[in-house]
Amino acid sequence: MARKIARALGGAPLPIDAPDKPLYHAACTLAAGHALVVAEAAIQLMMSLGLKRGEATRALLPMTRQVLQNCERLGPRAAWTGPLARGDHDVVAAHVNALQQYSLEYKEAYQALNRLAERLLVRDSAETSATLEKISEYRKAKAKGTGGKG
């Protein structure tokens, strides 16, 4: 019955051993639930610039859909986009700086996702890791405090 429900919802039922179910569920939560959190955070940031929710959603979700379709079609490395994918560390630093004015979770999530991307997708991860650490340490020393929006 559970398999039938999963297929009806577009899922692909997988046989998972009972001890592995928490890890399976964590992976599903990252792929679905947390993807929604990241999209909502981006929408909130866009709204803080004066966009209406619908405008922000229309600006962000097509891009999100496209990168997921590219991932399915081309694989994660080929589909990956953005300044870190291009090695544009100055832009990453500018993003971290811009996020300083919002609640700490925005900046921490951005930095954590960059570190995860560095581990999973970057070809020269040692150089990128060192650069991300420098950006993080520089911003910590410069900011010495958080607060603001979000």
> What are the average pLDDT values for consecutive 10-residue runs of the chain, which has 150 residues?
81 87 94 96 98 98 96 95 92 96 96 94 74 69 54
Question: Are 125 and 139 in the same domain?
Answer: yes
Question: Are 102 and 124 in the same domain?
Answer: yes
Question: Are 125 and 88 in the same domain?
Answer: yes
pTM: 0.78
107 domain-assigned: yes
pLDDT on residue 143: 56
Domain ranges, residue 138: 82-144
9 domain-assigned: no
87 domain-assigned: yes
Domain end position, chosen among 41, 58, 79: 79
Residue 116: CB atoms within 10 Å: 11
Residues 115 and 133: their CA atoms lie apart, in Å, by 9
pLDDT on residue 13: 79
- The burial class, CB within 10 Å (0-12 / 13-18 / 19+), for 132 is buried
Residue 140's alpha-carbon distances to 51, 93, 133, 136, 145, in angstroms, are: 30, 12, 10, 6, 8
10 domain-assigned: no
How many CA atoms within 13 Å lie on the side-chain side of 6? 8
Question: Are 44 and 70 in the same domain?
Answer: yes
Domain end position, chosen among 79, 108, 129: 79
pLDDT on residue 140: 62
7 domain-assigned: no
pLDDT on residue 12: 80
Domain end position, chosen among 79, 97, 114: 79
**Contact yes or no for 112/72 (Cβ under 8 A):** no
Question: Are 140 and 88 in the same domain?
Answer: yes
**Contact yes or no for 104/29 (Cβ under 8 A):** no
Taken in order 58, 59, 61, 62, the sign of the CA dihedral is positive
